[in-house]
């Protein structure tokens, strides 16, 4: 059953990603790393639903989402970006996202990092960060999502690769088998991968070629 929520704030954190904060429905509960579907009512799209990861913690009084905006006319994401405080959105009940239990190595591209953010924030707040590593691929330094926060959480275990240009904090390059091999710890830790479909396919092949059993890779 869909719930009506109110927009609290929306602003861009990269050139094409917004932070959207909305009210939490009464009695609504979600687990860490859950996802939902969102829709903008009464805009001629028949309440078209799109899935998004929840980046806030289940105990937070509000819900937060980081959403990549596609500027195609009347796309759901473009409509979400144009919402103002007080506007109404529709939200589904939560459903499970990526299973990150015991994951020590996270690999993401773009907004593929969003399901990992609440996990890393939670572990840090509880003092449970134990050599977790994150490899994030973006187009440019300006496109790196929550780069400052991730460096604060993980230090040198956060590696940011940019495919088009680099700066002193972000290396130029792509996620390759050799880059993954440099970061992988001994002992075959579980690895979580999220991003565009071809990115996930490529990374899973790299991990397989490096000898990581498929049952230790979650997508």
Mean pLDDT for the chain overall: 92
The position carrying tokens 């805009």 is 43
Is pLDDT above 60 for 15? yes
CA gap 83, 158 in Å, rounded: 33
Angle at 126 between CA 25 and CA 20, to 5 degrees: 35
38, exposed or middle or buried, with CB in 10 Å at 0-12, 13-18, 19+?
Answer: buried
What are residue 109's DSSP bridge partners? 137
The pTM (predicted TM-score) of the whole model is: 0.93
pLDDT at 45: 55
Q: How confident is the model at residue 10 (pLDDT cuts 50, 70, 90)?
A: very high
What is the tens place of the pLDDT at every residue in 155-177? 999 999 999 998 999 999 999 99
Residue-wise DSSP of 27-44: T----TT-EEEEE-SSSS
Domains in the chain (CATH in brackets) are 3-91 (2.40.30.10), 103-218 (3.40.50.80)
Is pLDDT above 80 for 13? yes
pLDDT at 47: 63
pLDDT at 85: 98
Greatest alpha-carbon span in the chain: 53
Q: How confident is the model at residue 97 (pLDDT cuts 50, 70, 90)?
A: confident
């Amino acid at each position: 059953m869909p719930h009506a929520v109110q927009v609290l704030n929306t602003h861009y954190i990269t050139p094409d990603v917004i932070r959207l904060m909305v009210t939490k429905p009464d009695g609504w509960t979600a687990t860490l790393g859950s996802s939902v579907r969102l829709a903008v009512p009464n805009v001629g799209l028949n309440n078209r639903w799109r899935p998004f990861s929840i980046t806030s913690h289940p105990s937070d009084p509000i819900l937060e989402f980081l959403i990549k905006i596609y500027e195609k006319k009347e796309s759901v994401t473009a409509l979400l970006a144009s919402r103002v405080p007080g506007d109404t959105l529709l939200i589904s009940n939560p459903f499970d996202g990526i299973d990150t239990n015991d994951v020590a190595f996270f690999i993401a591209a773009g907004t593929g990092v969003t399901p990992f953010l609440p996990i890393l924030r939670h572990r840090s707040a509880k003092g449970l960060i134990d050599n977790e590593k994150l490899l994030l691929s973006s187009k440019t330094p300006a496109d790196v999502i929550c780069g400052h926060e991730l460096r604060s959480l993980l230090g040198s275990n956060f590696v940011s690769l940019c495919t088009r240009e680099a700066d002193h904090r972000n290396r130029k390059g792509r996620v390759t088998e050799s880059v993954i091999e440099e970061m992988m710890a001994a002992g075959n830790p579980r690895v979580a991968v999220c991003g565009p479909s071809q990115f996930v396919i490529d990374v899973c092949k790299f991990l397989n070629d490096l000898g990581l059993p498929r049952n230790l890779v979650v997508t």
